[in-house]
Homo-oligomer: A and B are copies of this chain.
Amino acid sequence: MELLFLGTGAGVPAKHRNVSSLALKLLDERNAVWLFDCGEATQHQILHTSLKPRKIEKIFITHLHGDHIFGLPGLLGSRSFQGGLSDLTVYGPPGIRDYIDISLQVSQTHLKYPLKIVEITEGIIFEDEQFLVEARLLDHAISSFGFRITEKDKPGTLDATQLMAEGIMPGPIYQRLKNGEIITLDDGRTIAGHDYLGPDQKGRIITILGDTRPCTNALKLADSADLLVHEATFAAGSEGMATEYFHSTTTQAAQLAKEAGVKMLCLNHISSRYLKEQSKQLLEEAKGIFPNTVIASDFFELAVPVGSK
Contacts and interface: CB of A to CB of B under 8 A. Distances in A.
A81 B11 contact: yes
Interface in A1-32: 11-15, 18
Interface string A59-91: 000001110011101100110011000000000
A99 interface: yes
Interface residues of A, number: 36
Contacts of A96: 106
Copies of this chain per assembly: 2
A146 B107 CA distance: 18
B70 A14 contact: no
A103 B107 contact: no
Contacts of A11: 81
**Which label, helix, strand, loop or mixed, suits the secondary structure of the A interface?**
loop
A44 interface: yes
B107 A71 contact: no
Contacts of A109: 66
A74 B66 contact: yes
Contact of A107 (B13, B70, B77, B82): B70
12 contacts: A12-B78, A12-B81, A13-B47, A14-B47, A15-B47, A40-B70, A66-B103, A66-B109, A95-B106, A98-B106, A99-B103, A108-B141
A14 B48 CA distance: 10
A266 interface: no
A249 interface: no
A107 B44 contact: no
Contacts of A40: 40-41, 43-44, 70-71, 74
A158 to B, nearest CB: 45
Contacts of A15: 47-48
A159 B45 CA distance: 56
Given A65-B107, A69-B107, A96-B106, 17 more contacts: A11-B81, A12-B81, A13-B43, A13-B44, A13-B47, A14-B47, A40-B40, A40-B44, A40-B70, A40-B74, A41-B41, A64-B106, A64-B107, A66-B103, A70-B74, A102-B102, A103-B103
A66 B102 CA distance: 12
